[in-house]
Structure 1
Amino acid sequence: MSTDKKQSLGKTFSLVALLTSASKFVGLARDIFLTKSFGTSMVSDAFNFATLFTGNILVLFGGLGGPFHSSCVAVLTPRKDSGECGRLTMQLLVWTAIIMGLISIAVFFLAPYIVPLVAPGSGDIVQRERLWQETTSQLRIMSPLILIAGLVGIGCGVSNTYNQFFWPSMAPAVASIAMIIACLFVDPDAAQRDKQGYLLALGALIGAIGQLLVQLPGMLKATPTFKGLKVFASLEPGTKEYLHMLWPATISTSIGYLYSFVDAFFASTLQEGAWTGLITANRLVQLPLGVLLTAMLVPILPRFTMQVAEGKIDDLKVELRKSLNLLWFLALPMSAILLAVPTPIVRLLFERGQFDAHSTALVTVVLLYLVPSIFFYVARDLITRVFYAHKDSKTPYHVGLCAIGVKLLITWLMVRQFNLGLGGVALSTSLITVFNLSLLSFFLRRKIGRLGASKLVKPVAAMLFASLACALSTAYLYRLTSPTILQFNPGLLGQGLSLALAAGLGGLIYLALCYLFKIEEINYLIKRLRK
């Protein structure tokens, strides 16, 4: 890879990482307001169950890296300078709106029948019916999010094709701000609070509309037009290719999405608030993970696609290994810190208002089982993009399809047989991620030959050792310094300072060890900081 290309990729990575970080931190603020207002309660469970059908679709399918975005980039990139691009973009928008609109309508009318199947609930019939009614009410309000998800995905794809990254990266922040505003209207009185779940649903809907509106400048780059277009009578060549890629890519993404339904089913049969606890822990993990993956996958997908088109498979393998190393280099210390001091982190971020010590304990247990999956998760998502670059979305689909039954079996064993409760649900997620990565790596090797994985052993082993040192030192330093700091200031300032000191020193130990081990990524990081 030339120096100019490396610098270009690095700049794009940094820009997308910065924008995505800002958006993710606004999302964290949203979660803080939401948990403060409703804690881990029936209302928050209902909202998160409704989000499973709607908001999750917007995040997974409508965001950067989703099937609509990836398929759109694949068909528009080679045509972006041609006269057919405007017609193609318009036809993609129309067909996507029709497909997703029909699904939205179906969910609205079928909500009362779907909810009890996905969330059977726990306790007596009165408690379960309260949960079902609240979830159905919120789900119907939020059903248009399914339509919006497809259109947002197209907007992200068009913007990415024309190297526009600002609004695709920042758009989720618009939705988060709407949710924060909705939480400000929640009545603090407990009796009224249980009747105000609709505010969360309205906030989610308004936020999604805002997320779509900010995509319009990017969409206009392709100059979408109906001129010379026969929307239904004749499909543009790119539209046929788009639909051909979209179906298996959507199903492939849906496989991971279906795992959430398995988790929701088992979590709903546990204690009240279990589903919210699982969601909160997952979002905490997704904060660093989402930044890393989005920042890497957005600029790397067009590069993978171009290398495949030019037949430069050896360059593709080198790019894949370097990307994996960089992702692991950044993800491992974050994982180490989350494992070292999970309770203080959860307490600092969320324990206020309706989110009490019981809620903190609930989320902490999930974190301990979920964090180890980060290492495998980033590799799985990156390798999946290599298949997309080959216009092969069927392999990830078949791997994911095979994993559904395995996921169901593992979760049943963890929850019902080993009685691990909510921790068992989280552990099954980590185990199924390892299963998926193993199968994808096997099939990728069959597609492009040996991946050169042996070249990853030495740096990864060094990073794992440095991460272990980071975790142990962070835990020790927190136990050593926090009692003194919290004695002078037991509030948020004292908690934050204790964590920052321990995590900061732990992170420095990680970097120092990586430097001593001559990990290549440390030099990249130093160069970026100097610039």
Structure 2
Amino acid sequence: LFRKEFLQILRVMIWITVPIVVVCFFARGYLARMIFSRDAPEIAAIFGFLCLAIFFRVVYAIVSRYFYAQKDTWTPLIVSVVAIGLNVVLAWQLSRPQNYGVAGLAMAQSIVASVEVVILSIVMLVKDKKLFDRDFIDGIWQILSITGFSIVAAYIMVSLLPLSSNDTGFVALGFKLGMITLVTGTVHIGLSNLFGLKEAIPVVRKLKLLAKSVLKPVRIEW
């Protein structure tokens, strides 16, 4: 029962996080200019490198709970200590001016976050070789396939609504960012429902109920 609930939560979090990461990566310039008016290109580059770290940090938060539920606190602790050491080395190497500068710190974070998840996943498989069943693996492949279409949708929207030098202020940037997010999210949810992903079923059901309540005909009594 625990294994089933763990894999279900992990799948749901991956399904939710993937479109957010896609939007954050392709709309990083919009977000950077909206938050920081100065040095927006450099901030956008840093944020782009951090997108991978966002995904793996979310996955790590779920994966580490597996060990805590098994009353194993040493494995996450040891992996975290190794990750800290790796982060120091990578940050020192990548953040040099002749390499990537400040953006190297973001690259180091993404690399370390991915390494942590990979190590913990390997340890989980060693402890429980039947943990990742066929249903989970097929679901992840479907999510990755749908992510490809989400990436295409985000790329098309960024091409249709490019970031220009005249785009300033919350309204102009917020409109473009909102449209990119809306289309990417719609493609992700729609294709997930089309492919029969169970993560999309409750979301689509709620959206249908919301649409019915909004479009409900109003009776006028004379």
TM-score by length of 1: 0.37
Report the equivalent of 2:75: 395
CA distance change for structure 1 residues 483 and 405 in 2, over 3 Å: closer, same or farther? closer
What does residue range 229-268 of structure 1 map to in structure 2 within 5 Å?
Answer: none
Report the equivalent of 1:323: 9
CA distance change for structure 1 residues 418 and 428 in 2, over 3 Å: closer, same or farther? farther
Q: Which of 344, 351, 357 is the equivalent residue of 2:38? A: 357
Report the equivalent of 1:346: 32
- The yes-or-no answer on 1:464 pairing with 2:150 is no
SS at match of 2:131: coil
Q: Which of 179, 182, 203 is the equivalent residue of 1:525? A: 203
1:349-369 CA deviation, whole Å, 9 max, x = no partner? x13xxxx331x2232111111
- The yes-or-no answer on 1:508 pairing with 2:186 is yes
Report the equivalent of 2:63: 383
Amino acid at match of 1:413: Q
CA distance change for structure 1 residues 481 and 383 in 2, over 3 Å: closer, same or farther? closer
- 1:520 shift after superposition: 1.3
Q: Is the 8 A contact 1:477 1:502 kept in 2?
A: yes
Q: Distance in 2 between matches of 1:444 and 1:367?
A: 31
- The yes-or-no answer on 1:441 pairing with 2:127 is no
Q: Unmatched 5+ residue regions in structure 2? A: 211-222
1:51-78 CA deviation, whole Å, 9 max, x = no partner? xxxxxxxxxxxxxxxxxxxxxxxxxxxx
Q: Unmatched 5+ residue regions in structure 1? A: 1-314
- State the structure with more CA Rg: 1
Q: Is the 8 A contact 1:340 1:472 kept in 2?
A: no
Instruction: State how many pairs are aligned.
Output: 209
What does residue range 74-473 of structure 1 map to in structure 2 within 5 Å?
Answer: 315-348=1-34, 350-351=35-36, 356-358=37-39, 360-416=40-96, 419-473=99-153
Amino acid at match of 2:45: V
Question: In percent, how many aligned pairs have the same letter?
Answer: 21
SS at match of 1:380: helix
Q: Distance in 1 between matches of 2:129 and 2:138?
A: 21
- 1:450 shift after superposition: 2.4
- 1:454 shift after superposition: 4.2
Q: Is the 8 A contact 2:95 2:104 kept in 1?
A: yes
Q: Distance in 1 between matches of 2:162 and 2:79?
A: 46
CA distance change for structure 1 residues 434 and 492 in 2, over 3 Å: closer, same or farther? closer
Report the equivalent of 2:219: none
Q: Distance in 2 between matches of 1:357 and 1:479?
A: 23
Q: Is the 8 A contact 1:339 1:471 kept in 2?
A: no
Q: What is the root-mean-square deviation of aligned Cα atoms in Å?
A: 2.6
Amino acid at match of 1:329: W
- 1:417 shift after superposition: 8.7
Q: Is the 8 A contact 1:336 1:468 kept in 2?
A: no
User: Where is the helix percentage greater, Structure 1 or Structure 2?
Assistant: 1
- 1:483 shift after superposition: 7.5
1:87-113 CA deviation, whole Å, 9 max, x = no partner? xxxxxxxxxxxxxxxxxxxxxxxxxxx
Report the equivalent of 2:177: 499
Q: Is the 8 A contact 2:143 2:192 kept in 1?
A: yes
- 1:335 shift after superposition: 0.4
Q: Is the 8 A contact 1:341 1:475 kept in 2?
A: no
CA distance change for structure 1 residues 515 and 395 in 2, over 3 Å: closer, same or farther? same
Q: Is the 8 A contact 1:407 1:428 kept in 2?
A: yes
Higher RCO (C-alpha under 8 Å, 6+ residues apart): 2
CA distance change for structure 1 residues 482 and 404 in 2, over 3 Å: closer, same or farther? closer
